[in-house]
Structure 1
């Protein structure tokens, strides 16, 4: 699931049949399609309560080798979307097993903060960690950015990035901005505390994420992806916007938690000197 340009039209074309039902203003309207072609014009079915849209589709067996959907794959994707959209509730129900229907519901009020905490727990952390998170709207990108992260004791970097709730597995300008913002905040703090001098090299941006578990999510009106798979975000303005937001937020976080900040920054600086 995931290419931003793959919408209902593509799903319709790849389905042997598809049915759309729209509940609006007390009326239910429906339309059926067969292999992407409308069987008949939209028809009014009758009065109905509530509002919303329901879409049912049957993948075309002449196109796909298998048309059986994976509950585990869908559950993981819906869980991810719920993390990235705080307050959104998603319910997945599998009615295929006779007498053994199963359902799961995903809802995460704290959004990316919950996401990072879950990722840390899945990595084997036994203790609750101090997750820091920031959300900001910026007119320069006509959108919003959400970042949450924590430092663990490991040297592994785990940064998960998203644009419009789609995974950007190759990263992009939002990830570059995140790393640069962290590096700037760490450098400024280390200089103020005498852990670095003006003559020392700045922390390596590529190394600054060691021990990080982070989620970087941006929502843009006009995302620009590089490559056919939309795995790399290319919006230039995003880099500076995310970098500035992260630097400011992390600088405040350092000042509010001086003992934790000193521990983190000292470890990063020692690592640079050890090299």
Structure 2
């Protein structure tokens, strides 16, 4: 078939770059033009704010849903620099807000959150917003710059003195892009709850100013980390008996990162497993969740054989059948996360699987030895799941 007959030749090739590409295919960058993509827009900015707060020695971020349909995110970090960026010749904040692959150093440091593991999130939020106003408080001065659909409307302007440091971004999602531009308070509260559990001591405040009955406000701050997270998940499932939560943290240079794991067995007969990479939920799982299951299976198998509950003729405990009554959170923070799809929902780092599996096997194995009565109940549940249907 010839190019003439198909009507296809080099003249028909179109190259989209920068903001034009983002606005033409927004789903490629935020997952969808529905509620999911709308929330990703805010979570992109929330990740920046939390990173800035933690890196600057602060720890408080406020999210406000404003009556005009916009969102305002304020952090108490050092304030994003307005000084000229060497690579672009434009102010630093403007570069972050307009260049797709501009990033800051803390985005590659797992001690901060950096929920989106690629440095384009802030410019995406700007490009897919009809208006965005950036206010920076830094070195005693407050500066403001405004944007429309990713384009700077004017240079940064001085707006008076500042008594504290930090950055505030106020933006309105573009109704020309999204099917809905209305954020749900409950959904945002759930995400902030997760973020507070995964970063103990982080202070997050969500305020909704849209109601005529007055503002609705919630604060999220937890010191118990993933252990407390598992306790909450059990409570939400209606499990009122105090479960013994097994929790630990471990740094492993083989995966260039750290892990936090908590697990318990309740009586709900359901598996509740939540996985996170750099505080971002991995809805489609990945190597960290696979490693967790494999570690549980290895620990249970070894214990059951040592206790004579399994013989040499019995098959090994299968990792895909250890979820009965299990509630678990596995959170890994990596210097170089590898996500296997464009929506950033599946962790792919191979080393994470091995490291998490070994850590869970060791820690759970020790717990089973130290708690024989509880171990008997846990192992019995898992072995029952291996009885042929």
TM class, shorter-length: over 0.9
Structure-2 separation of matches of 1:255 and 1:36: 58
The change in CA–CA distance for 1:25 and 1:256 in structure 2 (over 3 A counts) is farther
Residue 31 of structure 1 aligns with which residue?
145
Structure-1 separation of matches of 2:329 and 2:384: 26
Does residue 40 in structure 1 map to residue 154 in structure 2?
Answer: yes
How far is the alpha carbon of 1:136 from its aligned partner? 1.0
Structure-2 separation of matches of 1:90 and 1:213: 25
Does residue 70 in structure 1 map to residue 187 in structure 2?
Answer: no
Q: Does the CA contact (< 8 Å) of 1:196 and 1:269 recur in 2?
A: no
Equivalent in 244, 253, 258 of residue 130 of structure 1:
244
Equivalent in 222, 226, 229 of residue 112 of structure 1:
226
Q: Which segment drifts farther, 235-244 or 123-132?
A: 123-132
Does residue 60 in structure 1 map to residue 174 in structure 2?
Answer: yes
Listed as ranges, the matches of 1:85-104 within 5 Å are 85-104=199-218
Listed as ranges, the matches of 1:180-199 within 5 Å are 180-199=294-313
Residue 15 of structure 1 aligns with which residue?
129
Secondary structure of 1:232's counterpart equals coil
Equivalent in 326, 331, 335 of residue 217 of structure 1:
331
Structure-1 separation of matches of 2:306 and 2:213: 65
How far is the alpha carbon of 1:270 from its aligned partner? 4.1
The alignment covers a number of residue pairs equal to 275
The change in CA–CA distance for 1:148 and 1:13 in structure 2 (over 3 A counts) is same
Residue 382 of structure 2 aligns with which residue?
268
Does residue 172 in structure 1 map to residue 286 in structure 2?
Answer: yes
Residue 257 of structure 2 aligns with which residue?
143
How far is the alpha carbon of 1:63 from its aligned partner? 2.3
How far is the alpha carbon of 1:191 from its aligned partner? 1.8
How far is the alpha carbon of 1:187 from its aligned partner? 1.2
Structure-2 separation of matches of 1:226 and 1:269: 33
Which string of whole-angstrom CA distances, capped at 9 and with x for unpartnered residues, describes residues 218-269 of structure 1?
A: 1112111112222211100000010011111111211221110122113323
Structure-1 separation of matches of 2:139 and 2:372: 56
Structure-2 separation of matches of 1:41 and 1:140: 45
CA RMSD in angstroms, aligned pairs only = 1.7
Question: Given the two structures, how large is their TM-score scaled by the length of structure 2?
Answer: 0.67
Structure-2 separation of matches of 1:232 and 1:223: 10
Question: Given the two structures, how large is their TM-score scaled by the length of structure 1?
Answer: 0.94
How far is the alpha carbon of 1:14 from its aligned partner? 1.1
Equivalent in 230, 236, 250 of residue 344 of structure 2:
230
Structure-1 separation of matches of 2:340 and 2:146: 36
Equivalent in 163, 175, 178 of residue 277 of structure 2:
163
Structure-1 separation of matches of 2:383 and 2:126: 55
Q: Does the CA contact (< 8 Å) of 1:170 and 1:231 recur in 2?
A: yes
Structure with the higher strand share, 1 or 2: 1
Structure with the higher helix share, 1 or 2: 2
Q: Which runs of 5+ in 1 are unaligned?
A: none
